[in-house]
Structure 1
C-alpha cells in the first residue's frame, strides 16, 4: 500500500520555534532544545527573556520557524549563537502572525478617547472611499 502524504507540516522537533500560551512568559517565543517525553520539552529563549525550563506541549504553539541543525540538548550559549546566526527573532517579528498579535495587543491597550479617534479616522476613510467609488 503506498504511503499517504502527511497533512501536518509542523512537528515537535529540536530547533522548532514555539509560542508560549501561558505562564509568566506568555506571548514570548522560545526554541525546543530537548524533547523529554510525549508531554514536555526543554525550551530556551536566550534572546527573548525565556529561561531554560521544562514546558508542557499543551501550553505552547508550534510555529513554522525551525532553527536548522541545532544539536540536541544544546546549552543556552549555543542556542543564542544559532538564533543570532539565522536571524530567527527578526523572521518572527516580520511574520504576519507576530504583526497581528502586536496589532491586537495595541488595540486592547487603547483608552476610550483613543478608540473614539480610531472611529473618527475610520469614518473619514470610509467617506473618502465612498466618494471615490461614486465618481467611478
Structure 2
C-alpha cells in the first residue's frame, strides 16, 4: 500500500510561484515548463514577469495552480489560462498576499506617518482601556 505524502505543493506545470530574488522579487509567476531538477521556465504575463529560466531555490511554491495548463505553453496561452482561472485575484485575496502588502505599506511609511500611526495606536489603546474599565464596574 503506497504511503501518503505529507507534501501538498509540488513543482508542476501550472504551479503559481512567488519570486524571492531578482528584479521581480515579490511578484507571482506560473511554471510553464520544467527544465531539470534545479530550474524551471516561469512566465508572468499578467504580473509583469518576463518568460525566463529561474532556479527553484529563488522560488516559493504557493498553494495555487493553473489547472490543465499545457506543457511549454507560450506567453499568450499562459496569459489566457491565468485570466480564465482568475489566479491573480485569488492570490490577492489570500492572507499571505495581504500580509505581504501590509508589510510593504509599513516599509514605505515616512517618519511623520509612523508618528501618526503611533498616536492612533495610543488613542485606540486608551479607548479599549476605558471600555474595559466601564465593563468591569
Q: TM-score range by the shorter chain?
A: over 0.9
TM-score by length of 1: 0.97
Matched, 1:63 2:29: no
Match of 2:3, SS?
A: coil
Report the number of matched residues: 135
What corresponds to 1:28 in structure 2?
A: 27
* Structure 2, unaligned runs of 5 or more: none
TM-score, normalised with respect to structure 2: 0.96
Deviation per residue, 1:84-135 (Å, 9 max, x gap) = 1011001111111111001001101111111010000000001111111111
Distance 2:107 2:84 in 1: 34
Distance 1:69 1:134 in 2: 58
Partner of 2:38: 39
Query: Residue deviations 1:48-102, cap 9 Å, x none?
Result: 0101000000001000000000000000000000011011001111111111001
Runs of 4+ in 1 over 6 A off after TM superposition: none
RMSD of aligned residue pairs (Cα, Å): 0.7
